[in-house]
Amino acid sequence: MLAAFFAIRWQTAQAGRPAAVIMLDQRFLPTRELYRTYTHYQGVARAIRAMIIRGAPAIGVAAAMGLALGARQLKTSDRPATFDRLCRVFAATRPTAVNLFWAIERMRGVYAETHAAGRTRLCERLEHEALALYAEDIEANRRLGRYGAALIPPRASVLTHCNAGALATAGYGTALGVIRAAWEQGKHLSVYVPETRPFLQGARLTAWELSKEGIPATLITDNMVGHFMQKGAIDCAIVGTDRTAANGDVANKIGTYTSAVLAARHELPFYVAAPTTSVDLACPSGAHIPIEERAAREVTHIFRQQIAPTDIPVANPAFDVTPHPLVSAIITERGVVRAPYDESLPRVVRAGQPDTAVSS
C-alpha cells in the first residue's frame, strides 16, 4: 500500500489552474501537515536547499518537476544556454545525492531532443518525463522492498537510520520500503529509530511514518545504538543511501557509519537499500563522494532554542561514508547484490540483471 500522505506531486495545468509542484513541508512534521504549492522553479530549488523536501530519490523527482516548471517560464526566444542555467541552479542545491544529478541529466536529454519542436511540445515532453521519473521511482521502491523483505527474518527487530521512507522518495520508500513490504507480508517486526541529529529525520519523520502505518517502533537517541546491540535487542540494520560508489562504499546520513561499525562488532547484518538511481559507477570509491557541510545553526539550535555557546566552532557534515566491507548486501530494485561490489554493482546497474538469487 502507498502511504496516506505524499512528499511531492505534480499539478497539471487546467482551467485557470497553473502547473505546479506540491510538496509536504517536512520541516514542520510531525506537528503540522502543511502542503506548499510552487509555480516557479526558483521556489522548488529553494525548497530542496531548505530541506522542505529531502531524501535522495525525492530531491531527484523535485528537480525534474522543477525543471518542467522552469521550461514553462522560458520565453520562446530563450536559447539552450538558458535551460542549462536552470539545470545548474538545481545542481547547486545539494551535492551528495547522485539521484539529483541523474534526474537533471535525464531532463537535459529530453530538452536537447525536443527544444527544436516548439515551446508547447517541449513543455509537454518535460512534464511527461518528470511524471515518468516519479512513477518509476515508486515502482523501483516496491520492487526493492520485495527483494529486501526476503532478507528479514519472520520475527525481527530492525535498526534504521534517518528517513528513507515514503517521505524521502516519490512514495513507498527504500529502507522503510523493505520494512513496509516485510510488514505487509505478515512478518512480526519492530523498528529501532535513532533520532538522527541534527535535523531529526528519525524522530520527526521516520517515527511519524511508522506510527501512521501502525508498525511498532521505538525512538532512541543516536548514541543508544551500541547499547541496544550489546543487549541483543537488534537483529539487523537497514539504511538508505544518497550515493553508492562503484566499489560499494555508501554515503548516507551522518551516523550511518557508526551504526555499521557497531553492527560488524556485534555480527549483525547491515543492509543498504539502494535504487540503481543512487549508484554512481563513475565514482570509484567513497573518498570521491562530495559530502555536504550544512549550517552551524542546525547543530547549535534545536528549532529556535539555542543549546550551545554562541560562537563555538561547529562541524556539520550531513553525510558519512560506510566502507563496503561493512555492508552485508545492497538491495536494488533489480535484486540483492553482495561483495565483490566492484563486480556485482556494475552488472546490476548496466545490464539490469539481478546479480544473484535473493538470499538471506
Residues with a known catalytic role = 242
Q: Which is nearer to ligand MRU, 56 or 130 (CB)?
A: 56
Under rule CB under 6 A, residue 253 binds ligand MRU = yes
Contact present, 344 and 267 (Cβ < 8 Å): no
Residues 21, 262, 318, 326: which binds ligand MRU (CB under 6 A)?
A: 318
Contact present, 251 and 96 (Cβ < 8 Å): yes
Which of 277, 90, 250, 36 has its CA nearest to residue 169?
277
Q: Identify whether 18 is preceded by a cis peptide bond (ω within 30 of 0).
A: no
Choose the stretch contacting ligand MRU; rule: CB under 6 A; options: 2-10, 112-120, 240-248, 308-316.
Answer: 240-248
CA-to-CA dists, residue 148 to 54, 124, 237, 253, 358, angstroms:
23, 36, 12, 20, 8
Under rule CB under 6 A, residue 322 binds ligand MRU = no
C-alpha to C-alpha distance for 71 and 123, rounded to whole angstroms: 6
Q: Which is nearer to ligand MRU, 74 or 151 (CB)?
A: 151
Under rule CB under 6 A, residue 241 binds ligand MRU = yes
Contact present, 337 and 272 (Cβ < 8 Å): no
Under rule CB under 6 A, residue 252 binds ligand MRU = yes
- Closest separation in Å from C-beta 240 to ligand MRU: 3
- Closest separation in Å from C-beta 287 to ligand MRU: 19
Choose the stretch contacting ligand MRU; rule: CB under 6 A; options: 27-35, 144-152, 161-169, 305-313.
Answer: 161-169
SS3 337: strand
Choose the stretch contacting ligand MRU; rule: CB under 6 A; options: 166-174, 217-225, 226-234, 302-310.
Answer: 166-174
Under rule CB under 6 A, residue 240 binds ligand MRU = yes
Choose the stretch contacting ligand MRU; rule: CB under 6 A; options: 117-125, 163-171, 186-194, 221-229.
Answer: 163-171
- Closest separation in Å from C-beta 157 to ligand MRU: 20
**Count of residues of this chain found to bind ligand MRU when the rule CB under 6 A is applied:** 17
Residue bearing cell 539502494: 274
Under rule CB under 6 A, residue 23 binds ligand MRU = no
Q: Which is nearer to ligand MRU, 174 or 276 (CB)?
A: 174
- Closest separation in Å from C-beta 22 to ligand MRU: 19
Q: 320: which 3 cell numbers?
A: 558519512
- Closest separation in Å from C-beta 54 to ligand MRU: 3
> 147 burial class (0-12, 13-18, 19+ CB within 10 angstroms)?
buried
Q: What one-character DSSP code corresponds to residue 335? A: E
Which of 137, 176, 144, 141 has its CA nearest to residue 159?
176
* H-assigned helices in the chain: 41-49, 56-73, 80-91, 98-114, 119-149, 175-184, 201, 207-213, 225-230, 256-265, 297-300, 341-346
Residues 93, 114, 174, 300: which binds ligand MRU (CB under 6 A)?
A: 174
Binding residues vs ligand MRU (CB under 6 A): 54-57, 97, 162, 164, 168-169, 174, 201, 240-242, 252-253, 318
